[in-house]
Amino acid sequence: MRLRRAAAIGAAATAVVLATTAAVFPASPVDRPQPLPALTSRALAARYAADSQLVARAAHAASRAGQAGLARSLDGLRGRHFIDFNPRGQGLAVEVIGNLARARRVAILVPGSDTSLATFDSRGTASPQGSALALAAQARRFDPGNHLAVIAWLGYATPSTLSPAVMTSGDAGQGASALRPLVDDLVRHGHQVALICHSYGSVVCGLAASDLPVTDIAVVGSPGMDASSVHALDTTARVWAGRGASDWIRFVPHVHFFGLGFGQDPMSAAFGARIFACGGGGHSGYFQPNGVAVRNLAQIALGDPAGVTR
């Protein structure tokens, strides 16, 4: 009971943060993800500098609006390597960890519900930026000379855990439409791409999967992928699924009824995914440094299925 109450309080607080962000930067129906620049060091440096200026202006706007907490969160994003940034609504941010110009493989981390600019790096390894840093660090431990770049991808408006939308695929469909062009662009530039999808983000990846040119799709803490099986995803990628022993997501009903729910449990034998070990952690613990889950996710990101423990 205490765990459920704490989760509800945390989700309610996050919902307030999301509403605050949307109030300061109203959404616009014409907002679209920026296309990738040329993947050269010079072109990427120019994009990083331009988006850093956008971050600075957004932080200033939040401060002028009296939103000191949001302003501090945005100010913490300055000077980082964003290939996309937009403060409108809940916000959009796509950050690169590593050298994208020289990378051969790219892992894209797709987050779940209650994620916004205000929480992009405020929850440690449970936030997009913290997850990406932890995954990149673990990959370096395995292979110090690897040519892997990790992208923390907040490319869609995530639903609130306390909203009815979190039980439908509407927001996930918009996310899938935004994710596909990024993957296609990266592959066109010669990169091999893996998707690492957490919680509701696994619904995004499931909807995007059909014929998507990725080598691997790994889901953790998944409520379902809006598909009945790996075969139904219509992908040639290796599809992986993992869940921590203490993750509350295991209690979510795996149904698909009148637009509610996301179908078969990816951990079930009937779904047909490659199951990998995630240890005893909870829903927010998949990227804890040197944990079982992040070690396996790093092997998947590096394209080394033989190194993944079951």
Average pLDDT over residues 93-101: 97
Q: Measuring CA to CA, which residue among 202, 214, 215, 190 is closest to residue 271?
A: 202
| Its pTM surpasses 0.85 | yes
> Which of 56-65, 163-172, 215-224, 268-277 is least confident?
163-172
Average pLDDT over residues 15-31: 51
Give per-residue pLDDT as tens, 70-84: 899 899 999 999 999
**pLDDT above 90: residue 261:** no
Give per-residue pLDDT as tens, 135-147: 999 999 999 999 9
Average pLDDT over residues 36-47: 96
Give per-residue pLDDT as tens, 188-202: 999 999 999 999 999
* CATH no., domain 2-307: 3.40.50.1820
**Residue 34: per-residue pLDDT:** 83
**Residue 21: per-residue pLDDT:** 57
Domain ranges of the chain: 2-307
Query: How many other CB atoms are found less than 10 A from the CB of residue 3?
Result: 10
**Per-residue pLDDT band at 4 (split at 50, 70, 90):** very low
**pLDDT above 80: residue 265:** yes
Most confident of 12-21, 114-123, 128-137: 128-137
> Which of 164-173, 177-186, 261-270 is least confident?
164-173
**Residue 255: per-residue pLDDT:** 82
**pLDDT above 70: residue 1:** no
**Per-residue pLDDT band at 30 (split at 50, 70, 90):** very low
